[in-house]
């Protein structure tokens, strides 16, 4: 009897293990992608319609953090993920010993310069106050945007690590108020202008396409550097699934959806 029970238990465990393996894997025509809810999962939904015409089924798993989608991809529970830019991915690889790579850039979410107490660039007076993000990445992007429109000049040797200390020309003596990115939308009534991230601008009821008086363009250094990418495991860049996914995401249908839905807050980079 004990022997029979042991055999039955072994059989049950075997089935469970097989079931677990099946759940972790996917068939050749199912693509599983991890994504943040907005805008990535929304964009993927449209890409899924394109993929269906090619015989693929797209399964999107939503994540609200920036760690699990990479770990889950590395563990082969996803075929790809779509939520991050390349500098973040490269830093993540170094810190977590993961081997993930970019399969290509899809879009960027531009920073914009929004009116506070003043409404136009021409109204910027000597000593004006501009609020900017205080985190390293977005602060440099903000300063480069202000340089692009001629307000300041940044040390060219610093690039995307620039802070106000790296400003070498400031003819209007602009004062910079460094704030957490999430607070910038609420700061507009207290400053002359503010440089705000795309997602936080949306939360504040602003749209970079219609409300900003200046914004990052898609050919800017920041836009190219911080474009949102599709990440895959190293070696899977040219797999059938990756090629099909990238083709769908870069389709005319997806591009039209992005442009019509986000109206400049999300910009295709292809």
**Residues 235 and 104 both lie in one domain:** yes
Range of the domain at 260: 29-109+225-268
Q: 103 and 230, same structural domain?
A: yes
Q: Do 105 and 117 have their domain in common?
A: no
If you ran DSSP here, which 8-state letter would residue 41 be given?
Answer: I
**Across 28-32, 71-75, 219-223, 265-269, least confident range:** 219-223
DSSP codes joined into one string, 83-150: EEEHHHHHHHHHHHT--EEEEEEEEE---EEEESS--SGGGPPTT-EEEEE-SHHHHHHHHHHHHHTT
Confidence of residue 24 (pLDDT cuts 50, 70, 90): low
CATH code where residue 95 lies: 3.40.190.10
pLDDT digits (tens, 9 = 90+) for 146-191: 999 999 999 999 978 899 999 999 999 999 999 998 899 999 999 9
The more confidently predicted of residues 224 and 21 is 224
- Preceding amide of 39 cis, omega within 30: yes
> Which residues neighbour 209 within 8 Å (Cβ) at sequence distance 6 or greater?
215, 263, 264, 265
Render pLDDT for 70-109 as a digit per residue (tens, 0 to 9).
999 999 999 999 999 898 899 899 999 999 999 999 999 8
Nearest partner of 42 among 101, 109, 93, 110, judged by Cα: 109
The answer to whether the predicted template modeling score (pTM) of the entire model surpasses 0.75 is no
**Strand spans (E) along 109-264:** 112-115, 129-133, 153-154, 167-169, 175-179, 193-196, 214-215, 228-233
pLDDT value at residue 63: 92
Higher-scoring residue by pLDDT: 240, 226: 240
Q: Report whether pLDDT(200) > 70.
A: yes
Confidence of residue 47 (pLDDT cuts 50, 70, 90): very high
* Whether 124 and 100 share a structural domain: no
Is 121 among the domain residues?
yes
- Please write the tens of the pLDDT for every residue from 221-235: 878 888 999 999 999
pLDDT at 8 over 50: no
Mean pLDDT of the chain: 88
CB 195 within 8 A of CB 142: yes
Please check whether residue 39 lies inside any domain of the structure.
Answer: yes
pLDDT category, 253, cuts 50, 70, 90? very high
Domains in the chain, number: 2
Residues 181, 234, single domain; the answer is: no
5 inside domain: no
pLDDT of residue 44: 98
More confident residue, 267 or 45: 45
In a domain, 21, yes or no: no
What's the pLDDT at 25?
Answer: 56
Look at residue 218 and tell me whether its pLDDT is greater than 60. yes
pLDDT digits (tens, 9 = 90+) for 107-135: 998 999 999 999 999 999 999 999 999 98
* 172 lies in the same domain as 255: no
């Amino acid at each position: 009897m004990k022997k029979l029970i042991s055999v039955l238990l072994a059989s049950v465990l075997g089935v469970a293990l097989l079931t677990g393996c099946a759940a972790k894997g996917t068939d050749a025509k199912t693509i599983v992608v991890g994504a943040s809810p907005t805008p990535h999962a929304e964009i993927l939904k449209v890409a899924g319609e394109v993929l269906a015409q090619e015989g693929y089924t797209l399964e999107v798993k939503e994540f609200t953090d920036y760690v699990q989608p990479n770990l889950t991809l590395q563990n082969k529970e996803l075929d790809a993920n779509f939520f991050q830019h390349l500098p973040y991915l490269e830093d993540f690889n170094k810190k977590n010993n993961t081997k993930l790579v970019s399969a290509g850039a899809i879009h960027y979410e531009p920073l914009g310069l929004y009116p506070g107490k003043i409404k136009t660039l021409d109204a910027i007076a000597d000593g004006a106050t501009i609020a900017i993000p205080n985190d390293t990445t977005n602060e440099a992007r903000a300063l480069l945007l202000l340089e692009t429109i001629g307000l300041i000049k940044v040390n060219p040797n610093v690039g995307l690590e620039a802070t106000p200390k790296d400003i070498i020309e400031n003819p209007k003596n602009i004062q910079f108020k460094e704030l957490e990115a999430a607070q910038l939308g609420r700061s507009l009534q207290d400053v002359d202008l503010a440089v705000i991230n795309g997602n936080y601008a949306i939360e504040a009821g602003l749209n970079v396409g219609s409300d900003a008086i200046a914004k990052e363009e898609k050919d800017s250094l920041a836009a190219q550097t911080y474009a949102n990418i599709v990440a895959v495991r190293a070696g899977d860049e040219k797999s059938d699934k990756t090629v099909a996914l990238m083709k769908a995401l870069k389709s005319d249908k997806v591009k039209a959806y992005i442009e019509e839905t986000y109206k400049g807050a999300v910009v295709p980079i292809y």
